[in-house]
Structure 1
Amino acid sequence: MSLTAQDLDQPAIADLVRRDFTATVPGTRLVGDITYVPTWEGWVYLATVIDCYSKKVIAYAMDDNYKTPLISTAIRRAAKNENLAPKAIFHTDRGSNYTSYEFGTVLKELDLRRASGRNWNML
């Protein structure tokens, strides 16, 4: 399964953001993504969490792989670094890590709602 393919064993995820990446209060609407950076020693994968209110990176995590613990660490750091509202929205792509049962459990522990945009082929 590719990095951006939804885990089809998990229920559908609602688009709670609908391309409105703004927020009037800090810690209520967050977005996340994974990117990779070439280094002299190979790839480093970087997961970020951005608050839509301030547009600032409020947490990140790095590793030599892009498995689910990478994004779990990033969102846990966000919850530790910032005062996230109960039921805050965390919006991501439909990648298998973000749609996994394991990551859903982390979001439930943190009292965050999972959100994801539509697939382009569904438009």
Structure 2
Amino acid sequence: MKELAGDGVPVTVTCRVLKLARQPYYRWLDKPSADAVLEQAYRANALFDAHHDDPEFGYRFLADEARSTGSGLADRTAWRICRDNH
């Protein structure tokens, strides 16, 4: 919707066509992603980097590698991220 507003289409019209309220749109525009989602992405990226370096190891080793780079990560969280991302 940002692109439409940049092209001159009013946000009010865009929200009406998409059947969205304006207030949540502006709230999202102010803060596009939640802090928890961003932290999850950083953790997944750390695990992916560790897996790229040593693809034959499991989630516990990957969690140890991610922790060595400064990411606070529990083994269970590492398992869940690995499971979700195959």
TM-score by length of 1: 0.23
Relative contact order (alpha carbons < 8 A, sep ≥ 6): 1 or 2 greater? Answer: 1
Larger fraction in strand:
1
Task: Look at both structures and tell me which one has the larger radius of gyration over its CA atoms.
Answer: 2
